[in-house]
Amino acid sequence: MTRRRILPAILLAALATSAQAEDVWIKRSADVRNDPSAAGDLVVPVTKGQRVHVLERNGSWVNIDVNGKTGWVSADSISTREVKADTDLIGRGSGAEMSSGAAIKGLQPIAGDYAEKRSLSKAGLNEMLALKKTVTPKMLKDFVAEGSIERPARR
């Protein structure tokens, strides 16, 4: 292909992408997953009020771009209208001061401090997180198929 043909093709592709591109807001916290499945691995968590970019829609799932990271969230988790972020009651401010007990990734500082104060073990929480990672989207898909678990047709 000559350079004369390549350039318009690139421009057209860029235009097509931008035409599909859609900025939306996260209306509730969600785990952006690497697969459109509840068993998909976490790519990045998103929180209410965050602005993200829609790349593709696939049924009830939407592929989004979050600051360069892409993954899937439920279509119910986004809004085309601007959504404002929460004001935290418990966790607001002073995160650094309260983070001594937050040994688990994603553990809220006050929950970590609560665990320290009440001598609660974080092992169970870690086990739950590790357990979830052992279940892959393929396992879930096979599990559903093996059990012939079929969603009824919409009426």
Partner 1 sequence: MNSKFKNLKFIAPFIVTAALLVTVPYNMGGCAAVTSQIGEAVGGKQGAAIGNSVGKLAENESISEKDEQAMGESVAMTVTTRYPIVKDQKLNQYVTLVGLTLANASRRPDGNWLFAVVDTDEVNAFSGPDGYVLVTRGLIRQLRDESELAGVLAHEMSHVLDKHGLAAVKQAGRASALASLTKVDERLSAFSQVTDSLTDTILVKGYGRDQEDQADADAVKLLISTGYDPRGYLQFIQRTAKEQHGSTSIMSTHPGASDRAVKIRKRIDDSKALTQGAVLRERFEANTKR
Q: Summarize as ranges the residues that interact with partner 1 (CB under 8 A).
A: 28-33, 37-39, 47-48, 60-61, 72-74, 76-77, 86-91, 94, 97-98, 104, 106-111, 113-115, 117-125, 127-129, 131-132, 134-135, 139-140, 143-144, 146-153, 155
Three-state helix/strand/coil letters over the chain: CCHHHHHHHHHHHHHHHHHHCEEEEECCCEEEECCCCCCCCEEEEECCCCEEEEEEEECCEEEEEECCEEEEEEHHHEECCCCCCCCCCCCCCCCCCCHHHCCCCCCCHHHHHHHHHCCCCCHHHHHHHHHHHHCCHHHHHHHHHHCCCCCCCCC
Cβ proximity to partner 1: between 22 and 27 the closer is 27
Cβ proximity to partner 1: between 20 and 94 the closer is 94
Shortest Cβ 2–partner 1 spacing (Å)? 45
Cβ proximity to partner 1: between 22 and 99 the closer is 99
As a dihedral over the C-alpha atoms of residue 98, residue 103, residue 105, residue 108, rounded to 10 degrees, the angle is -30
Shortest Cβ 15–partner 1 spacing (Å)? 30
Shortest Cβ 54–partner 1 spacing (Å)? 14
Cβ proximity to partner 1: between 17 and 29 the closer is 29
Shortest Cβ 79–partner 1 spacing (Å)? 14
Shortest Cβ 32–partner 1 spacing (Å)? 7
